[in-house]
Chain A
């Protein structure tokens, strides 16, 4: 029995309504970034208004905005790429050479991501002060470290799924281990690489606490700018600035989940659940 057309329409409208309800708060900020400061502070709130791009222009012309965006991009892309490289080597090794300590090592590495960042930040803060690592290099290494556990888990899961036969065929035909790793196995785990890349990118992109404490010039990212730059000279929250900056900032993760939606599930569960929704 086919459900009637009206029923289907009602059903789909309901789903759209749910999705829009969840998006509404973000939409409200999106609107605020196109309002004049007076419109933002208007009582009662204005639902219809004359849109303006002044906020966005003034946000972009603040001396620190563009450098912060560049820091965000630079740190997140580079640290995640580095983490993927390191994790791929380790994931292949742990998958193919059967060490007795494999499960334990995987457990230890994952457990580092289960701890509140505030717990590790004190010793790292002291260590970074002692070594004078509170620069781009230090923060980059830290984010790489934080991106490794999920990447390792996702990639190990995917490499376990690539049959060892492929490796053996490669060896029989005279391929070297490195050739097998990069030319035979690597292309087959591309979905894993993409999922790990996207989700660690979003994580680093959104990270605040470590950045707030360890960051300095050259490493401070937008969440830091949002938290610190939110009050104007009068001590009031500068909502026009907050709205336009955060709207610009959530654009990247939003585009990511639009274009890479089929990797969402793998990414959010560290590769322990496969499939699409």
Chain B
């Protein structure tokens, strides 16, 4: 039906039909913007506007507790945060939490990752890896509750084992000396598998040929690690550490469910603190100022993340 002879002008009805308004629009320069429109709408409506509103609020004295209209304060909220020793200690706790959690998860994850390297012929590998990776896909609310049951002082299994070993019981989550460690332990349980995953990925990125060459050249294990594995694997490992850092810094649900910041404020991490200011004391101005600071810290992390990523692309010439 639609045989088009070379000499025939484009009066062919099929060709005319092809140049529909849609086709013309698709080729116009506005088309690309149209494709971006949905994402921009989402981004502006649910992110840019709330963020700007939040930045605006951070300069006001605005509390939902008082009927008084918001009054402009300038940078007073930020000055108040700067002078708030309670917040400084929450930042300090968060810093300690992030450093310990990420440090221990990385150490353990790298060691276990090396252990799992070379397990490709293991029987039931897929099931084993699924069991291994389950902790990181369980909702933090549920894992917080799991561990509350395990840590429970009267009938919890951890205390039962502890009693068998040492003859005493510890209420881990309300004990000042133990609560922080108990929460940290759960975080390590949840996220060490992630570092194992990243280590396996890092090891997988080392070209087979180079490993074989290293074997032929009889490199020692240490030389192999330093000259062959590390140059290839370090970027993926760095990415893993950064992602974990960002995530650990956001920890809210876990402490909320396990200890609710207690005992005292031993486990009150900064994200939970922010939540408290906003929804317990309903102090919108002050909590917005704090949120702005957390946002800036997050942007700093993201920049480092992307910098590492670009470094990797650059090195690998991707």
Contacts and interface: CB of A to CB of B under 8 A. Distances in A.
A43 B154 contact: yes
Interface residues of A, number: 94
Interface in A177-218: 177-178, 202, 205-209, 213
Contacts of B189: 22, 25
A123 B131 CA distance: 39
A249 interface: yes
Contact of B197 (A120, A126, A265): A265
Contacts of B51: 120, 123
A246 B271 contact: no
Contacts of B197: 264-265, 268, 277
A2 to B, nearest CB: 12
Given A45-B155, A86-B39, 15 more contacts: A11-B119, A22-B192, A23-B132, A28-B150, A90-B39, A99-B32, A114-B250, A116-B249, A116-B250, A116-B271, A226-B145, A242-B145, A246-B146, A268-B197, A276-B204
A22 B50 contact: no
Contacts of B97: none
Contact of B42 (A148, A254, A257): A148
Contact of A118 (B36, B134, B252, B257): B252
20 contacts: A18-B116, A22-B132, A23-B132, A23-B135, A43-B155, A45-B157, A93-B35, A108-B43, A117-B252, A122-B278, A122-B284, A123-B51, A142-B46, A174-B18, A206-B139, A208-B253, A209-B275, A246-B146, A250-B138, A269-B201
Interface stretch (B83-91, B220-228, B296-304): B296-304
Interface string A254-277: 101110010011001100110111
Contacts of B147: 25
B87 to A, nearest CB: 14
A69 B301 CA distance: 35
**Which secondary structure dominates chain A's binding surface?**
helix
A26 interface: yes
A148 to B, nearest CB: 6
Contacts of B131: 19-20, 22-23
Interface in B37-57: 38-39, 42-43, 45-47, 49-51, 53-54, 57
B36 A90 contact: yes
B98 interface: no
B155 to A, nearest CB: 5
Contacts of B272: 118
Interface string A19-59: 11011011011001000000011111100000000000000
B140 A42 contact: no
B54 A119 contact: yes
A256 B128 CA distance: 14
A14 B115 contact: yes
**Which secondary structure dominates chain B's binding surface?**
helix
Given A118-B278, A120-B50, A227-B257, A26 B295 contact: no
A177 B299 contact: no
Interface string B179-197: 0000000000100111001
B146 A209 contact: no
A60 interface: no
A89 interface: yes
Nearest to A39: B155
Interface in B219-273: 236, 239-240, 243, 246, 249-250, 252-253, 256-257, 270-272
B95 to A, nearest CB: 15
Contacts of A40: 149, 155
B142 A250 contact: yes
A68 interface: no
Given A29-B149, A243-B149, A226 B141 contact: yes
Given A89-B39, A205-B139, A250-B137, A145 B46 contact: yes
A19 B45 CA distance: 44
Nearest to B53: A123
B279 interface: yes
Nearest to B271: A116
Given A22-B135, A90-B35, A227-B141, A16 B150 contact: no
A110 B252 CA distance: 20
B81 interface: no
Contacts of A115: 250, 294-295, 298
Contact of A277 (B23, B129, B298): B129
A116 B274 contact: yes
B299 A92 contact: no
A237 B148 contact: yes
Residue picked from A14, A23, A87, A116, most chain B C-beta under 10 Å = A116
Sorted nearest first, the 4 A-B pairs with minimum C-beta distance are: A206-B139, A123-B50, A119-B291, A253-B137
